[in-house]
A and B are shown apart, each in its own frame.
Chain A
Amino acid sequence: MSQLYRTTAPEGIIQRPLDSMTLIFQKSSGITHMIADPVPAILEVMAEDSLTARDVAQRLAVSYDLEDSENAADVVLARLAELCTLGLVEQV
């Protein structure tokens, strides 16, 4: 849980919320990602900071009413791992 993460080149992505989904266009790869909750919120609270999954969960708890706050960090960690695979987030 002490691993730090940050978003990769925030200026290198374009976000467009649609209905229940958000589109992310990644300029470096030319790939369009379609993401659902809570991923847009995770990227938003991370901003340009380097954070652990627990930090991200705490920031989310400030803005959102989390259903299962105890396991929130685990959920965030799983999403961060997926975002790393996509190249939208990197380990610091």
Chain B
Amino acid sequence: MAGLHHLYLTVGPARFRVASTWRQPLDQLAALYKDYPASQGGYADFTVRLEPEKPWRRYIRPSVHISGDFWLPDAAPLPLSQCLLAAEMGMNLQMALGWRRHLLLHASSVEKDGKALLMTGLSGSGKSTLSAMLAEKGWRFMGDEFALLNPDTGMVHSFPRLISLKNEAIAAMQAILPDSRFGPLLTGTPKGDIRHIIPPLDAVKRMADTAKPALLLFPRFGYDPVLRDMGKSEIFVRLTQASTNYVALGETGFQALTKFVDRVPTKAMDYQSGEQAEELIDSLWSQL
């Protein structure tokens, strides 16, 4: 990887080497991840590569092509102004396609008293925003993208990357957090406007602490507030859809997921505001 700049990052149990043609994404990552533990001995689980799509695109309308140990052949390159997003997408991609030590659930998670609340759902369900909001209200932030379920112990491991806020959620969190907690505003990305938040320091310091999954929610933003029961079959199917490595883990994944569905109370939660969601979550949490 001659000619590339490098940065090593540790997030939860995963260690990344980010290699880039340009310094800019690495400088941005270094600033936003400054409180995360340093890599030990230059070892990494995954390498993310950010390089020009074609050699001349390093300078002329520079565009960042994301690759690494795992990559998607049809991933569209991003403009250099969105290089931070490219780096974050690259790290997500390595986890989604390559991580095998845990069952990966596409879910946000927060912890209180050693117990974890997981929230999963489609993009736009509000799982990232809710986790960011709860992290400012006495919960420990564990991750906004992936919850890592240990198949041996059933515990959830933290993966507290930067929190990725989209569109309306950006203003909502800007109202309660200082500017120093935010990364640059990225406009016109494939998912609209994106701005990252640095997780609370406590989330970073305690990222090795696991938690017992105690509640799973399927939030849905924009509907009258209500909690609904879900059948175990529906929960199971939706979690297989929410897991990027369920199939790859084979019997281990099956055992881990069936145990999880059997043991963890689950509700569908509709809500129209953060306050409503917090009320519903508090009412459920107090009954656990």
Q: Check if B55 is an interface residue, CB within 8 A of chain A.
A: no
How far, in Å, is A36 (CB) from chain B's closest CB? 9
How far, in Å, is B137 (CB) from chain A's closest CB? 34
- Provide the A27-46 mask, 1 if CB < 8 A to any CB of B, else 0: 10010101000000000000
Interface core residue of A18, A20, A27, A30 (most chain B CB under 10 Å): A18
Within A12-56, the residues touching B (CB, 8 Å) are 14, 16, 18-21, 23, 25, 27, 30, 32, 34
* Residue from the list A19, A30, A32 in contact with B231, Cβ < 8 A: A19
How far, in Å, is B100 (CB) from chain A's closest CB? 14
| A20 in contact with B251 (CB, 8 Å) | no
| A18 in contact with B233 (CB, 8 Å) | yes
In the bound complex, what is the Cα–Cα distance between A19 and B235 (angstroms)? 11
Q: Check if B288 is an interface residue, CB within 8 A of chain A.
A: no
- Provide the B226-241 mask, 1 if CB < 8 A to any CB of A, else 0: 0000011100110010
How far, in Å, is A29 (CB) from chain B's closest CB? 10
Q: Check if B96 is an interface residue, CB within 8 A of chain A.
A: no
In the bound complex, what is the Cα–Cα distance between A14 and B251 (angstroms)? 9
| A19 in contact with B251 (CB, 8 Å) | no
Within B111-135, the residues touching A (CB, 8 Å) are none
Chain A interface size, under 10 / 10 to 19 / 20 to 34 / 35 or more: 10 to 19
User: Cβ of B258: which chain A residues have Cβ within 8 Å of it?
Assistant: 16, 23
In the bound complex, what is the Cα–Cα distance between A18 and B247 (angstroms)? 19
User: Cβ of A27: which chain B residues have Cβ within 8 Å of it?
Assistant: 250-251
| Contact A23/B250 with A16-B258, A18-B261 known, Cβ cut-off 8 Å | no
User: Cβ of A16: which chain B residues have Cβ within 8 Å of it?
Assistant: 258
Within A33-89, the residues touching B (CB, 8 Å) are 34
| A18 in contact with B232 (CB, 8 Å) | yes
| Contact A20/B231 with A27-B251, A32-B254 known, Cβ cut-off 8 Å | yes
22 residue pairs bridging A and B, Cβ less than 8 Å apart: A14-B251, A14-B254, A14-B255, A16-B258, A18-B232, A18-B236, A18-B261, A19-B231, A19-B232, A19-B233, A20-B231, A20-B233, A23-B254, A23-B258, A25-B254, A27-B250, A27-B251, A30-B250, A30-B251, A32-B240, A34-B236, A34-B237
Closest 5 CB pairs of A and B: A18-B232, A21-B233, A25-B254, A19-B231, A16-B258
In the complex, besides A23-B254, A25-B254, A30-B250, 12 extra interface pairs with C-beta distance below 8 angstroms are A18-B231, A18-B236, A19-B232, A20-B231, A21-B233, A23-B236, A23-B258, A27-B250, A27-B251, A30-B247, A30-B251, A34-B237
